[in-house]
Homo-oligomer: A and B are copies of this chain.
């Protein structure tokens, strides 16, 4: 139930690309790495994965770099996380809908399904455009509005 460095890096880099989308010119990996303080070579691997998933595009050579394949308001955080981390909320590496529980754990499946659904309500709502503008969807506002949400347990 944790967020990997890779996923965090990926979203941050994508946010930079979203912000640069107006510029109409590719952004170098180096610039992304510096802007978000991410190890360049590691970032390149991440960007490559994002490219393979059709989220970013790239061109080599002078004047080359990366850019978003789609408008920033059509790319969700969920997509990016899935691209680098794989499916969200799998249990023992299998999707919750495929698990069969026995005995008194029978209803645990519904709980894991709810966990995944709750993650989706956040991750699939927030787009890169939301992220850079700071105008986050109302679901995020509701979830972060209590003092409680900001403290550890």
Contact = CB atoms under 8 A, between A and B. Distances in A.
Given A35-B104, A36-B105, A119-B1, A150 B16 contact: no
Is chain A's binding surface mostly helix, strand, loop or mixed? helix
How many copies make up the complex?
A: 2
Contacts of A90: 2-3
A118 B125 CA distance: 13
A100 B97 CA distance: 36
Given A3-B112, A108-B15, A152-B95, A119 B118 contact: yes
16 contacts: A1-B1, A2-B91, A3-B112, A35-B102, A35-B104, A77-B111, A95-B152, A104-B132, A105-B131, A107-B132, A113-B144, A114-B122, A114-B139, A118-B118, A120-B149, A121-B143
Q: Which 9 A-B pairs have the closest CB atoms?
A: A117-B143, A12-B105, A114-B143, A19-B104, A117-B149, A3-B91, A118-B118, A114-B140, A15-B104
